Structure 1
């Protein structure tokens, strides 16, 4: 399909919303209306158009709730939350734009209002973690609000939000009979934006704290706890499964065994560097580092991904420190620690999934590799243009594992 938004950079973020339409997200016409409002404007125009849409949905939700229509108000609050979450993507990074914080707070407030209006009681939680706590939501399965059921823990990646994760994964799982637990970890959502807590590679530490609380919930079948991660979560979920035996199934969308290897391959392919020159990312020759910096800062998407977003999320201030931090994000040597059945996905045109096959081959646990193709509209990152197909196949697999 052609671009909905005039700028490629905006189109990538704005079209996330297309993948959420089947799960109660805003409709296609609303997305195109926002795109028209943005026009050929800059990141501020993108932000303002999406926030304006969120404000409209919030106002409609409040008016509808005053008339006693709780179910309709809930849907409208969810749509508002989605708009606020989308608005902040292009300005996501350091230095922190006040608009980013405002949109995040509006998004959270709208999501909380939606959850409070759910037919089945949703439990907002604070999960103790080190010196602080993680925000989380326990959402019972649609048809089993009072039954002990399997639990699906959902984990984000770099810049996804709880709202995104709800639409992308939770709605389908809830409708299939799974309780869901959504949370923000270090480097994500509240912990990053409000508390300044950076991402960390030892995600097993994070998820173990989540499971410590989950196993105390009376509706959770403690023998059937699964974890699913999308985008960078395709590394974080397997990392968690390698360190906590209570995880009975693991889903990585896509399977990501190593962040540094992905960067090494990029540098080799684009700049013609030798494998030896990039063996240790943190100790690369300064001349090569300067070439990489020029590459990143002269490409809008790479500049956003690495300099704007990556530095902030990883808590670093320069390229060498960033590349040094990446070396910690690897499953090398930990593959055999994953004992539970594990599902990896690989989308045809998703650069993050290029090592999924090698990752699959390195696993010694019961394993499955699902591939998704462009001819089904599911070839892009996290299969966002056909999320229904992804969810159907993944949940079929999980049904079989937990049968």
Structure 2
């Protein structure tokens, strides 16, 4: 697939693989991903949006007709795929926050997901989690309707993914194994960013804390067995929260990230301390010009900076780079984690190669490193394309880890 789709654009190729991966839990169909990708002009953000939107509109329209005709399972499955395709449609549009297309596609993604959520048994319940004078959007997944306290996974996405997408990245897999699952979007992530303009913050424990307050009031949650899972950049944010939030029984970094700074500084000539000084400087026209050139010639950098300015609330590429420097687990932060930690590592990670191992080495808590390889077809960032394999191993670890909590037994 890597040679057949978008051979000259690693970012488009990885995003296509992301949708292929979601086939495992109902987020895509192979033929729909292939046919849509083949219509897209490589490197053209407008083409990417237009073709994914066309597919999403077609699939959601058929799902709506299925629902009206009394075919709820067909409707549920169609709405799930359409939700993911709408998410993909808006993915590359954040270079211009005023562009109405990304709000439209995002709104449709949420609408389709919630239409599907209502058709599950038990239904997936949209929730609003109190947070600093407002609320964070999320979803509560129950294994059944008994209200029995169960081991629980609280999970969130990363730099660019949605709460809705976590259905495919671990929520449904947890429910299948008897877990209660609570998914949320934090500040900087799509719901709070689109709806209220909330941008990322590095002290993620102050986001997770209110989410745990909410979770602990739910009858389905066993307060002694709550794990936190963070996906992608969440593989840094979740360990950061676990370093300061000690109500957690386990933390999963999918994949592990230790320091966001090198994603910016390694491409700029000079020692890291000097590069950081220049990023934070009041003015540096030469560095501004270099960053503009890098964005023009590197499709991964182009997308990352455009999206990063949007989610960090940064007015310039250099300001985004400076903001990114605050996201790390250095200076003894990783060593503060007390609960068992699972760090996942993808051999071919496009964004954070080697960082999972750095995080693992810094941990002093009970820890496990879970490596995924090319031979397994699981070497991509967050194991895109191998989600059944990855989530089986992750939940096996959670089963074994939470089983050893005092007075606890493994989920049914």
TM-score bracket for the superposition, by shorter chain length: over 0.9
The aligned counterpart of 2:153 is 152
- Within the alignment, does 1:193 sit opposite 2:194 as a pair? yes
CA distance in 1, matches of 2:272, 2:104: 44
User: Could you say if the C-alpha distance between residues 202 and 368 of structure 1 is closer, same or farther in structure 2, counting changes exceeding 3 Å?
Assistant: same
- Within the alignment, does 1:258 sit opposite 2:259 as a pair? yes
User: Could you say if the C-alpha distance between residues 48 and 283 of structure 1 is closer, same or farther in structure 2, counting changes exceeding 3 Å?
Assistant: closer
The aligned counterpart of 1:375 is 375
CA distance in 1, matches of 2:366, 2:42: 49
CA distance in 1, matches of 2:288, 2:35: 42
Q: 2:141 aligns with which of 139, 142, 147?
A: 139
Give the deviation of 1:42 after TM superposition. Answer: 2.8
Secondary structure at 1:4 match in 2: coil
Greater Cα offset, 93-102 or 35-44: 35-44
CA distance in 1, matches of 2:375, 2:317: 38
Query: CA-to-partner distance for each residue in 1:3-59, whole Å, 9 max, x for gaps?
Result: 324762433222211101111122111111112332558322221221121122222
The aligned counterpart of 2:322 is 324
The aligned counterpart of 1:282 is 279
CA distance in 2, matches of 1:154, 1:319: 29
1:356-375 matched pairs, under 5 angstroms: 356-375=356-375
CA distance in 1, matches of 2:86, 2:208: 27
Structure 1 runs not aligned, ≥5 long? none
Secondary structure at 2:70 match in 1: coil
Structure 2 runs not aligned, ≥5 long? 404-412
Greater Cα offset, 8-17 or 160-169: 8-17
When normalised by structure 2's length, the TM-score is 0.91
CA distance in 1, matches of 2:78, 2:291: 44
The question of whether the paired residues in 1 share the 8 Å contact of 2:147 and 2:219 is answered with no
The aligned counterpart of 1:22 is 24
The question of whether the paired residues in 2 share the 8 Å contact of 1:6 and 1:39 is answered with no
The question of whether the paired residues in 1 share the 8 Å contact of 2:94 and 2:310 is answered with no
CA distance in 2, matches of 1:16, 1:116: 25
The aligned counterpart of 2:407 is none
CA distance in 1, matches of 2:41, 2:296: 25
Query: CA-to-partner distance for each residue in 1:218-242, whole Å, 9 max, x for gaps?
Result: 0101111111111100111001111
CA distance in 1, matches of 2:113, 2:131: 23
Give the deviation of 1:288 after TM superposition. Answer: 5.0
Query: CA-to-partner distance for each residue in 1:330-380, whole Å, 9 max, x for gaps?
Result: 222322321100011111111414122222121111111111111211111
Query: CA-to-partner distance for each residue in 1:243-276, whole Å, 9 max, x for gaps?
Result: 2111111001121121114433343xxx4x2344
Greater Cα offset, 97-106 or 62-71: 62-71
Give the deviation of 1:292 after TM superposition. Answer: 4.1
CA distance in 2, matches of 1:155, 1:121: 19
User: Could you say if the C-alpha distance between residues 36 and 298 of structure 1 is closer, same or farther in structure 2, counting changes exceeding 3 Å?
Assistant: closer
- Within the alignment, does 1:177 sit opposite 2:174 as a pair? no
Q: How many residues align?
A: 397
Query: CA-to-partner distance for each residue in 1:139-183, whole Å, 9 max, x for gaps?
Result: 112x67643211111111111112321112212122112111111
Secondary structure at 1:245 match in 2: coil
The question of whether the paired residues in 1 share the 8 Å contact of 2:29 and 2:81 is answered with no
User: Could you say if the C-alpha distance between residues 292 and 93 of structure 1 is closer, same or farther in structure 2, counting changes exceeding 3 Å?
Assistant: closer
1:327-338 matched pairs, under 5 angstroms: 327-332=325-330, 333-338=332-337
Give the deviation of 1:283 after TM superposition. Answer: 4.3
The aligned counterpart of 2:118 is 116
Query: CA-to-partner distance for each residue in 1:181-225, whole Å, 9 max, x for gaps?
Result: 111110111211222111111111111111111000001011111
The question of whether the paired residues in 1 share the 8 Å contact of 2:126 and 2:139 is answered with yes
CA distance in 1, matches of 2:373, 2:357: 15
User: Could you say if the C-alpha distance between residues 210 and 59 of structure 1 is closer, same or farther in structure 2, counting changes exceeding 3 Å?
Assistant: same
The aligned counterpart of 1:95 is 97
When normalised by structure 1's length, the TM-score is 0.93
1:224-303 matched pairs, under 5 angstroms: 224-267=225-268, 271=269, 273-278=270-275, 280=277, 282-283=279-280, 286=284, 287-288=286-287, 290-303=289-302
CA distance in 1, matches of 2:380, 2:278: 28
